[in-house]
Amino acid sequence: MTRDTRTSTETAPEQRTDAGRYLPADAIPETAPSRETEWRTRLTEAVPTLPRLLKYVLAIGVALLWIVPFLGLFMASVRPLSEILQGWWNVERMTFTLENYRQAWSYSTAPMGRALLNTFVVTVPSVLVVLLLGAMAAYPFARFEFPLKTALFFLILLVMAAPPELVAMGNYNTLRNIGLFDSYMGLVLVHVGWGLGWVVLFLRNYLLGIPEELEEAARIDGASRYQIFRTIILPLSAPALVSVAVIQFTWVWNAFFFPLVFMRSPDLYLAPQVLPLMRGRLQVQWGLVAAGSVMTLAVPVILFMLLERYYKRGMVAAVTD
Amino acid sequence: MADTGETETVSGSRAAAHRGAGDDWHGRIRRFSKSDFVRGLPYWFVPFLIMGFGVYGGIGWNTLISLTDYEGFGQPPDLGDLDLEMYAQALQDPAVFVTTKNTFVLMIAFTTITMILGLFLAIMLDRDIRFREKIQTIYLLPMALSFVVTAQFWLWMYNVNNGLVNTVVGVFGLGPYNWIGNPDLVLSAVIFALIWQFSGYAMVVFLAGLQSMPDDQFEAAKVDGANTLEMYWDVIIPQLKSSSVSAAVILMIFALKAFTFLYSMFGQYRVPQATDILATLMVREAFQLQNWAYAAAIASILLVMSLAIIAPYLYYQYKQGSL
């Protein structure tokens, strides 16, 4: 991809006649995938055989099993409790109501409306700071040579191994001592520290895949390391940064343990913290819980659907490289 | 690019050597200030500071506390006499024994089944299927959810009286089972819910491995007359070794972190004994019972377990040159 951009910028001035609609001949990769096999499989696809039919039945069956809980959650969130107790799948005599959402939004102990806002307030800085610091830390590990590099890198990687429960007590004490306990600042700091482990690994691996010649050219033109970082490295790693952003966002948004330990004032509760409170004591308010769940999951699920490609790439690359 | 940096410093040092002993010191400082180490410093120093505070500080404090008798706040921990008393106590504690056993059962059952299911889904979606992207999205969707949400709705699905699970098994003339209340069933119920959430992840990892394989391997196996099952078993699956190891490590680490799921499913620190794992025991000891030193010792056991999983993996990756 980087190759293509370079060749097209080089050849751009004299090839303006086609208005940039076609790639120059030398920008077409030599190892283009052969269409032949794909064409053949396409032909077999048109003819359903018994094993293939079985495969579709299985694939769709599992997909149903996966989607049913979501469906149930949504159904429960828009129906009164009496109907939910009869089973949400009974659709005759269904009453549609938004009462559950209204109640959840202004739930007495900790209103969901405010909790969602709080979650945003924590998540957005956690993502932005991790992006910036992660890219900064990944750059020297991909390009510089210095003593202790491997040792420091392993120190980063081991962060991924430590269970959050392990450091919670230590962080609890530190945050209390420096006065950041029960504040978003402290929570963001902890989230950033935890996120950096895999972010640095992922971005460093990505940077190693960017050819160095691009920077070489800039260096010859007298660009400083900072300029190279800002004008070459950052733009080129944009797809990786999107992957990092979407995964870290989901991660922080969904986090429960850190808020549970560090956020004690009900005013400051985050959405995942409020949800278990809604269950009530004697009769579980399933409708209320379902409405709260839908509100909590809406943002990360929409983000996931929009940026699924990046999400998958990040999840795969974070482990296989 | 690193090369040019080195030649620069090398010539610098040679010049300094020529100028004699008086300038040598200056030269060394200048050389040092131009080295990659110093130039890299502004990039990685702040991230390391935060990681050091957030993670390594926590681990260090934890280890130190586990050697004391610290219980709660008010007075600072007595660092005068450090001993391994808490570890000795943990080794004799039946609760630690039970939770360790549960942790292993959860980890092994969850990881194995998730991987097998993920592999199965990946093979199913790998070739000759339409709507691949759509189906993948559905399988992967639970990964975007919070443990808290998953716990809520599985609790609801498992409900004795009106849960969907009992209704479905009722169709086959079974049940109703008290999935959550019955100590024999609750761990399986929890593991199933976790599998539901994570098998999409295993699928994506395997699918990436499968799709990076050249088509001619599949063709060659077919020409040799192998049936589909033989082909996958003999040719394709052995090549997924590195994907499998990576996925297994990540899943095991997730299993050790299952605290959130258990806590929010049962709504309290005290979870049913059959699902009590080391992480829940540790958090309960620390934040409910204020036995900080004891909790810290349990946390150390947990850390050793995760290191035992991830350190060999990282070392192996490093030796392979893929890190």
Question: CA neighbours within 13 Å on the CB side: how many for A220?
Answer: 5
Please state whether the predicted TM-score (pTM) of the whole model is above 0.90: no
Please state, in angstroms and rounded to a whole number, the distance separating the CA atoms of residues A223 and A215.
Answer: 9
- Residue A37: per-residue pLDDT: 58
Nearest to A231 by CA among A218, A216, A246, A241: A218
Question: Measured between alpha carbons, how far is B54 from B39 in angstroms, rounded to an integer?
Answer: 25
Judge whether A223 and A231 are in contact, CB under 8 Å: yes
User: Can you tell me the distance from the alpha carbon of B283 to that of B292, in angstroms, rounded to the nearest whole number?
Assistant: 9
Q: Where are the domains of chain A?
A: 112-320
Tokens of A23: 């790639």
Q: Contacts of residue B263 in chain A, CB cutoff 8 Å?
A: 256-257, 260, 276
Q: Do A164 and B257 touch (CB under 8 A)?
A: yes
Query: Which of A59, A250, A311 is closest, CB to CB, to B125?
Result: A59
Asked if B65's CB is within 8 angstroms of A219's CB, the reply is no
pLDDT of residue B138: 92
At the top level of CATH, which class does the domain A112-320 belong to?
mainly alpha
A165 contacts B299? CB cut-off 8 A: yes
pLDDT at A28: 58
Chain B residues with CB-CB distance to A164 below 8 A = 257
The more confident residue out of A31 and B24 is B24
Quote the DSSP letter at residue B56: I
Q: Could you count the other beta carbons within 10 Å of the beta carbon of residue B82?
A: 12
What pLDDT is stored for residue A3 in this prediction? 40
Q: Which of A157, A166, A312 sits opposite B302 (nearest CB)?
A: A166
Residue A96 DSSP class = -
Assigned token pair, B47:
């991230």
Q: How far apart are CA B48 and CA B53, in angstroms?
A: 8
Contacts of A143 in chain B (CB under 8 A): 1-2
Residues of chain B contacting A168 with CB distance shorter than 8 Å: 58, 283, 286
Which distant-in-sequence residues (6+ apart) come within 8 Å of B75 by Cβ? none
Distance from CA of B38 to the nearest CA of A (A): 9
Whole-complex ipTM: 0.83
Per-residue pLDDT of chain B (323 residues; tens, 9 = 90+): 344 444 444 444 444 444 445 567 787 777 777 777 777 788 888 888 888 888 888 888 888 888 888 776 656 666 777 788 888 888 888 999 999 999 999 999 999 999 999 999 998 888 767 788 888 899 999 989 999 999 988 988 888 877 888 888 888 888 778 888 888 889 999 999 999 999 999 999 998 888 888 777 777 777 776 677 777 787 788 888 878 888 888 888 888 778 889 998 888 888 888 889 999 999 999 888 888 889 999 999 888 888 888 888 888 877 877 66
pLDDT at A10 over 80: no
Judged by CB atoms closer than 8 Å, whether chains meet at A303 and B55 is answered as: no
How confident is residue A124, by pLDDT bands cut at 50, 70 and 90? very high
| Alpha carbons within 13 A on the beta-carbon side of B58 | 25
Q: Residue A91: how many CB atoms within 10 A of its CB?
A: 10
Predicted confidence band at A9 (pLDDT cuts at 50, 70, 90)?
A: very low
| pLDDT tens by residue, A186-225 | 999 999 988 888 898 889 888 988 888 888 888 888 888 8
Whether B96 and chain A come into contact, CB under 8 Å, resolves to no
Distances (CA, A) of B223 to A34, A40, A175, B126, B219: 19, 15, 65, 19, 6
Disruptive mutation site among A167, A199, A233 for chain B (greatest number of B CBs within 10 Å): A167
> Does residue A7 register a pLDDT over 60?
no
Closest Cα to residue A122, out of A200, A190, A199?
A: A190
Question: How many Cβ atoms are within 10 Å of B213's Cβ, its own excluded?
Answer: 14
Site from B55, B111, B302 to mutate, A interface, most A CB atoms within 10 angstroms: B55
Q: Amino acid identity of B73?
A: F
pLDDT tens string B140-169 = 999 899 999 999 889 888 888 778 888 888
Q: Is B25 on the interface with A (CB under 8 A)?
A: no
Q: Which residue of B has its CA nearest to A145?
A: B36
Compute the mean pLDDT over every residue in chain A, rounded to the nearest whole number: 82
Overall CATH class of domain B94-320: mainly alpha
| CB contacts < 8 A (A, B) | 291
B-chain residues near A297 (CB < 8 A): 144-146, 149
Least Cα distance to B117 among B50, B213, B209, B192 occurs for B192
For chain B, how big is the Rg over CA atoms in Å? 27
Integer Cα distance of A41 and A46 in angstroms: 9
